[in-house]
Chain A
Amino acid sequence: MQFWAIQTLNSLALGGLLFLLSAGFSLIFGLMRIANLTHGALFMVGAYLGATLLRWVPNLWIVALLSGLIVAAFGFLLEKFILEKLKGNVFSQVLVTLGFAYIIADFCLVTWGGDPIPIPTPPSLQQPLRVAGLAFPAFRLAVVGIAVLAAIVLYLFIERTRIGAMIRAGVDDMEMARAVGIPVRRLFSIVFCLGAGLAGAGGVIGGPIMSAYPGLDADMLPLALIVVILGGVGSLVGAFVGSFITAFVYTFGVALFPQLAYVILFLPMIFVIAFRPRGLFGKFAA
């Protein structure tokens, strides 16, 4: 019983982290039509920055915010000075993000070394929560809470604000959006920053669960890809649902069939691709 309860909570926590990672990935893909392959590396660099910042700022949530802002600033520069130069050539843009994924990963290896750096759980959340005779790690519950909160804020931002409406217009029909005078260039910047920042903050929040280690980027990127393939490109709801499906399949896959976890991960993806290539909530096929 404890096993199932803990694995369920682990799945929920991983799903929350995956949402922070893939919401930005999905919005960037939906709006700019590019797969941002630096996304795993941004998550990783966020985690490393968090580990360093925690030496001076002892609060994990503030550190997550700071780290997210730094990574968002980097995303801004990358979008402004490199991706914009290649506008209109989607394939080149994707290759550049792949190139930067390698540069960032190697930069992390040079700066922080090859050993994993643990990120401590905040002291107030170290005691497990006891419900009905079962113990739940409090920090994982907090991660789920934060992800849900982030999802609500993002949803309101996309659905209820003027900028959100412009982003939706751009995702649905880029040419029409330009034609009615929506400043699409500025939207690209905003969405890219937002996505990068969410990934960076997600790395810190995930830190106490997975810590910062070389290869974290390569572990997270395929999960984000699968989330977006499942949920559909450019859809927040899709990213949310896809994150939790992927997290459950992955967590229980690792727990029950550790050797074949990745093969199991692949099954829902095949199923969606076969019957609904644009994903569960996608508006168009990627």
Chain B
Amino acid sequence: MTRKAGIAVLVALLAAFPFAAGEFYVNLASQVFIFAIFAASINLLLGYGGLPSLGHASYLGVAAYASALLTLKAGLANWAAAPLALIGTTLMACFFGLIALRATGLGFLMLTLALSQVLWGTAYRWIALTEGDNGLRGINRPAPFGVSLDDASHFYYFALAVTLLALWLMARFVASPFGAALRGTRDQPRRMAALGHDVWMVRWLTFVYAGFWGAVSGLLFVYYHKYIHPISLSLANSAEGLLAVIAGGSGTLAGPVVGAAIVMILKNYVSAYVERWNMLLGFVFVAIVVFMPEGVVPGLKRLWQRSRSRA
């Protein structure tokens, strides 16, 4: 079976899913889609750029807050608020990139973390704007072409369409000559500089692009929940995204999607039975890093190739 046929079958199965599954699972799938975009955007930085961002919740959270504030406080319609939120968040990524890319490696990790904690703390404290710990309520989902997205399966198709578009565009980005240059800056930054590539610019453009897709996931996030709380800007949220990338396999296209599904399903099931999600998150983190550092997708791929070569 060719790759294209496989993808077509998968998309057909996903399109048929709401007919077969109950509302709980349809909603869970929508959350997986949103989280998959978020994880895939982190993967652009971590997997293809070698830049470990621990502050990616900034883009999700700021886009979500911007959309919520523009509709609730400025009275804009969703179709007008969405592009403004995306542009604003992308501009913020431009600025944050200037700061965070003064360093690479762990310095980059610390700077992205510190920047996102500043936003998180501000969202908690700037009560006049964000309502602090109460969060913002009363957000409406958009109604593209007059179709209300309040229905679970309508929202599912909307999220599926956006996710497929996002993943396709990110895959194109990675496969492009620019993506090749990006992987070059990850593996051999000095050689790339010697070849005449502007390593910093490659990284910065990727940072901005990843910030943009983080913002897209933030819009879907706020439409889905119709509510936004500072916790979506927290370190925990960035860490869950990073965990999804690592669990699935960083530097692969399918990895973040698989990882997002694992993390979301785990989170929803566990929080339904016990309250110890954070402890489990910690243990999953440790277990994956210690026992499965390459992630699920590369691990399974290796097993598959081994079984084929044996046959």
Contacts and interface: CB of A to CB of B under 8 A. Distances in A.
Interface of A: 29, 33-35, 82, 85-86, 89-92, 94-96, 98-107, 109-110, 218, 221-222, 225-226, 228-229, 258-263, 265-266, 269-270, 273-274, 277, 285-286
A77 to B, nearest CB: 13
A106 B54 CA distance: 20
Given A35-B110, A262-B125, A98 B279 contact: no
Interface stretch (B82-90, B179-187, B282-290): B282-290
A109 B277 CA distance: 12
B289 A225 contact: no
Q: Is the interface of A mostly helix, strand, loop or mixed?
A: helix
18 contacts: A92-B289, A99-B283, A99-B286, A102-B236, A103-B278, A103-B279, A106-B278, A106-B279, A221-B117, A225-B114, A228-B110, A259-B122, A262-B117, A263-B118, A263-B122, A266-B115, A269-B114, A273-B99
A102 B277 CA distance: 9
Contacts of B290: 82, 85-86, 92, 96
A265 B276 contact: no
A96 B119 CA distance: 24
B234 interface: yes
Contacts of B118: 222, 262-263, 265-266
Contacts of B111: 229, 273
Contact of A270 (B99, B120, B239, B293): B99
A43 B290 CA distance: 25
A36 to B, nearest CB: 11
B114 A100 contact: no
Contacts, number: 128
B149 interface: no
Contacts of B284: 99
A22 to B, nearest CB: 12
Interface stretch (B9-17, B59-67, B100-108, B137-145): B100-108
B113 interface: yes
Contact of B110 (A86, A229, A266): A229
A185 B31 CA distance: 44
A277 B107 CA distance: 9
Contact of B282 (A29, A35, A102, A225): A102
A50 to B, nearest CB: 22
B125 A273 contact: no
A15 to B, nearest CB: 18
A110 B276 contact: yes
Contacts of B120: 262
Contact of B125 (A94, A218, A261): A261
A286 B289 contact: no
Contacts of A90: 105-106
Contact of A82 (B126, B129, B283, B286): B286
Contacts of B283: 99, 103
Given A35-B109, A102-B281, 19 more contacts: A89-B293, A91-B52, A94-B52, A96-B285, A96-B286, A100-B286, A101-B282, A102-B236, A107-B279, A110-B279, A218-B117, A222-B114, A222-B117, A222-B121, A228-B110, A261-B121, A262-B120, A263-B122, A269-B114
